[in-house]
Structure 1
Amino acid sequence: MLTHTDIWAALDSLARDHGLTASALARRAGLDPTTFNKSKRITREGKPRWPSTESVAKVLDATGASLGQLLVYIDDSVPSENGKGPTIPLIGSAQAGDRGYFDDAGYPCGGGWDEIPFPEVGDNNAYALEVSGDSMEPLYRDGDIVIVSPAASVRRGDRVVVKTIEGEVMVKQLIRQTAKRIELASLNPAHSGRSFATEEVSWLARILWASQ
């Protein structure tokens, strides 16, 4: 299972391999120099804190590293039974609308999936979705990979993948969910939000990670 320590250790290793301290890495990424300090890795309540997706994305952009390269640091400490790092299914967003890739609850099923290396995220049914088109810009661009967890709880403000009964697949931000309706905001200001009756939505699942 992927832990807070795994991610922080990977960032430390990335900084070291670029001849930087954690503070210098944060500055290069345009972040507050204290962003990656040891004290920022624990909440005031003493609980482990995850680095934000945005800060990780800025670090990758600043260093020229890819998400795959960052995962190598993590995979080095997460061996699998066959000697290879763990993998998760990968599917294109266009394919996601087809029948046969997901069951009625939004869990990946059947064949036709590619696979990519990715540490365990606490959900055996987590999968990767490759973004296509520009409808999710500027947050997600064509070719970006988002990691989706069907088992994760979904709350207001979360970024989610939604599939309608008609087979349309979209990435939105959840604004409101009631017993009768699901209200979604678009990630691209050029596109309007969407509102669905609950029975019009096949499933929605929370985005845990994005390559960007």
Structure 2
Amino acid sequence: MIRKERYEIMNWLNAINWMKKNKGMTTDDISKYSGIPKGTLNKLFAGQTKDPQLSTIRAVVHALGYTLDDLYQDTNNQQFSENELTLINKYRLLTQTGQKAADESINILLKLEESIISGPQNTVPLRISEQSAAAGHGAYLGPESFQIIDVLDNDMTHRAGFAVPVSGDSMEPKYHDGDILLIVKEQVEMGEIGLFTLDGCGYVKKLGDGELISLNPEYEPIPLDDSIICNGKVVGTLPKEWIIEK
């Protein structure tokens, strides 16, 4: 376990770089307020200083408006494993969108843990496409490409009309290649993510004003026209742990 008094933690570099980014301060600013030469700070933030002095770290975090307690994630005298501290700092380095996606994934896992602890669960049949809907370029999504699987019966799976795997990266960071999306047969409102078909090919996109939008800015929007069909709204992902193997 890592205690407050331990300075030699493997993730101090991630922590101080996050603090610097969060405060929007330059190296010149930090040098001015901490009294530490800019050259020393450049080496520190680049990770070239493997064993910096505690006084140096203290001066840097104080200049950034933090304390050593903030650095060690131990303001309440709690103790964290090295893995827990690493995960905390990785989370802090995420954008707001990335943190939201991480929160959603954690909530799904917590619900899964609760269902396991509470004992055997009922199952419900769910139609799942054998072809992937594209988070990128279109993929064939015909009616003959579905099969029936058994999944844990909960609010999300009970509500879903069917499920579709994702192929591609155009909807990252929210949905990733290989995710299985739960689809409800409801109208998709502006700003919501839905499953759309164009010429028999499926697309997972956000509905915009006259266009279908990818979350990944590397992909161009698809103009809406009468040939595009909305198949339903995406309400979440289907964890593989919810699928009942026969």
TM-score (norm 1): 0.52
Secondary structure, aligned partner of 2:224: strand
Contact 2:213 2:221 in 1 (8 A): yes
In structure 2, the residue matched to 1:170 is 203
Distance 1:202 1:60, change over 3 A: closer
In structure 2, the residue matched to 1:100 is 143
Matched, 1:155 2:203: no
Larger Rg belongs to: 2
In structure 2, the residue matched to 1:70 is 111
In structure 1, the residue matched to 2:212 is 184
Alignment of 1:130-149 (within 5 A): 130-149=165-184
| Distance in 2 between residues matched to 1:208 and 1:191, nearest whole Å | 22
Identity %: 21
Distance 1:142 1:122, change over 3 A: closer
- Following superposition, the deviation at residue 118 of structure 1 comes to 4.7
- Following superposition, the deviation at residue 157 of structure 1 comes to 0.4
Query: Any gaps of 5 or more consecutive residues in structure 1?
Result: 1-18, 32-51, 103-110, 177-181
In structure 1, the residue matched to 2:102 is 57
Q: Name which of 190, 193, 197 aligns with 2:221.
A: 193
The one-letter code matched in structure 1 to 2:143 is G
| Distance in 2 between residues matched to 1:160 and 1:53, nearest whole Å | 20
- Following superposition, the deviation at residue 86 of structure 1 comes to 3.5
Cα-to-partner distance string for 1:143-191 (whole Å, 9 max, x where unaligned): 11221111x3421100111112x11111111113xxxxx4211122111
Task: Identify which range, 138-147 or 90-99, moves more after superposition.
Answer: 90-99
Matched, 1:91 2:124: no
- Following superposition, the deviation at residue 205 of structure 1 comes to 1.4
Query: Any gaps of 5 or more consecutive residues in structure 2?
Result: 1-78, 134-138, 240-246
| Distance in 2 between residues matched to 1:195 and 1:185, nearest whole Å | 9
Aligned length: 147
Secondary structure, aligned partner of 1:206: strand
- Following superposition, the deviation at residue 54 of structure 1 comes to 6.1
- Following superposition, the deviation at residue 204 of structure 1 comes to 3.4
The one-letter code matched in structure 2 to 1:57 is A
Decide which structure has greater helix share. Answer: 2
TM-score (norm 2): 0.45
- Following superposition, the deviation at residue 59 of structure 1 comes to 6.6
What RMSD, in angstroms, separates the aligned Cα atoms of the two structures? 4.1
The one-letter code matched in structure 1 to 2:220 is S
Contact 1:88 1:117 in 2 (8 A): no
